[in-house]
Structure 1
Amino acid sequence: MQQITGTMNSGVAALTEREKETLRLLVAGHDAKSIASHLGLSVHTINERLRDARRKLEVSSSREAARLLAEREQAAPDSSADKFLGVSGAADPMASAEPAGRRKHRAQRLAWFGGGMLIMSLVIAAVALSSVFGGSVAATQAGAAPAVAITAPSASASLEPARAWLALVDGRRWDDSWRSASSLFTSQITAPQWARTIESVRGPLGAVSKRTFQTVTKTDVLPGAPAGAYEVILFRTDFARKPGATETVIMVRDPGGWRVAGYFIR
């Protein structure tokens, strides 16, 4: 066991930042095609990154490689928070216009719940999310077929509930958005914690002028979450002070219907 752990640690250490970025997006629900679109790269380039990551981590599945990275970074959240879903110059139109020092402080930090799923990412103006929720990371089935991002809105069973929840957030109805979220969400963060977190993240972005559905990915397994029926929905959103952002809403099917289990912005 010690040898296996040592091999994993050395493999993670050998990953480049670009390979880590690609694996983190895979954990967030993207596939190779949507990662390529998100980063402005070719699918061939993304597949090369994933292949190199699999080789370094000595695994046969890209999702297994992503899970191993998520486990490793969860074990040391303070050291990885600034790098999680880091913004590259190609992906972020704001990056090239900012001095390097400001880009460093406009770091993306994270809050975990359920042992690994993201509640929120992207903090502007150096607002840090300090709550890290513990727990065991659920293992993704090594032989499971990769989830596929679908571009047809009709393929999503949870799109309308997701839009309704986002409308609450757009209206700054923090308590209502917390109450309407899934039990998985509300069991891991209190309403006051959520209000502080969402205010610090959404406030600096300004009002939403346009939100367009991009893809939905259906899956029954997500790293750090219990098995269930999930939909990972991506929107391209224009905020007053951040046009062209990507919002990700993770929906889970609760007994009462589809509800929000996670949300983050890039």
Structure 2
Amino acid sequence: MRRWISCIAVSLSLLSGTAIAADQSTHEAADRWVQIIDQGDFAKSWKEADAGFQANVSELQWTQTLQQIHAQTGKMLKREFKTEDIKSDLPGAPAGKYKIVVYQTAFEKAPQVKETVVLTETKDGSWKVTGYFLQ
């Protein structure tokens, strides 16, 4: 009986470790992607986004939009992770596995911005950005 309980405890700790690692990888993917935007490499952010994102907005439209936003907000000063949520469906998006990462961000000209990055799980198990919103 003790051996069986020990096996369950070990299995649960391994499973929870896997879940934590998966959450860290999506959070890290979101962090890396917004850092590309912070560096001003708007074209690269488009290229590293999900195919669904790329189908909805051209690279030129994306870079022009981010240039306008950057002119209004200025340089990113501070970004603080707030929440991460898991969804299986989103309005206007196909069914799938999504993670929504929310930051509280301060920019030079906009000190209180809610920054939301939506990621989707790809066929190979990696996470790519499929949405980006500022409020």
Give the alignment's TM-score, normalised by structure 1: 0.41
Higher relative contact order, structure no. (Cα contacts within 8 Å, ≥ 6 residues apart): 2
Structure 1 residue 232, shift from structure 2 partner: 0.8
Identify the residue that residue 261 of structure 1 maps to in structure 2: 130
Counterparts of 2:83 and 2:33 in 1: how far apart (Å)? 17
What is the identity, as a one-letter code, of the residue corresponding to 2:106? D
State the TM-score, normalized to the length of structure 2.
Answer: 0.79
Larger strand proportion, structure 1 or 2? 2
Q: Which amino acid aligns with 2:57?
A: I
Between the aligned partners of 1:175 and 1:260, the Cα distance in structure 2 is 14
Deviation at 1:198, TM superposition (A): 1.3
Equivalent residue number for residue 80 of structure 2 = 212
Q: Give, in whole Å, the separation in 1 of the partners of 2:61 and 2:118.
A: 19
Equivalent residue number for residue 54 of structure 2: 186
Distance 1:218 1:198 in 2: 26
Pairwise CA RMSD of aligned residues?
1.6
Identity %: 31
**Aligned mates of 2:31, 2:62 — CA distance in 1:** 19
Name structure 1 gaps, 5 residues minimum: 1-151
After TM superposition, the structure 1 = structure 2 runs for residues 1-266 of structure 1, keeping only pairs within 5 Å, are 155=23, 157-256=25-124, 257-266=126-135
Structure 1 residue 155: Cα displacement = 4.3
Instruction: Give the counterpart letter for 1:258 in structure 2.
Output: W
Letter in 1 for 2:35: A
Q: Report the alpha carbon displacement of residue 199 of structure 1 after superposing the two structures with TM.
A: 1.1
Gaps of 5+ in 2: 1-19
Q: How many angstroms does 1:265 deviate by?
A: 0.5
Deviations 1:5-64 (A, max 9, x none): xxxxxxxxxxxxxxxxxxxxxxxxxxxxxxxxxxxxxxxxxxxxxxxxxxxxxxxxxxxx
Cα distance in 1 for residues equivalent to 2:24 and 2:133: 19
Query: In structure 2, the residue corresponding to 1:168 is in which secondary structure?
Result: helix
Q: By how many angstroms is 1:163 displaced?
A: 0.6
Distance in 2, Cα, partners of 1:169 & 1:241: 16
Deviation per CA, 1:142-174, whole angstroms, max 9, x where unpaired? Answer: xxxxxxxxxx9x845411011100011011101
- How far apart in 2 are the matches of 1:155 and 1:173? 26
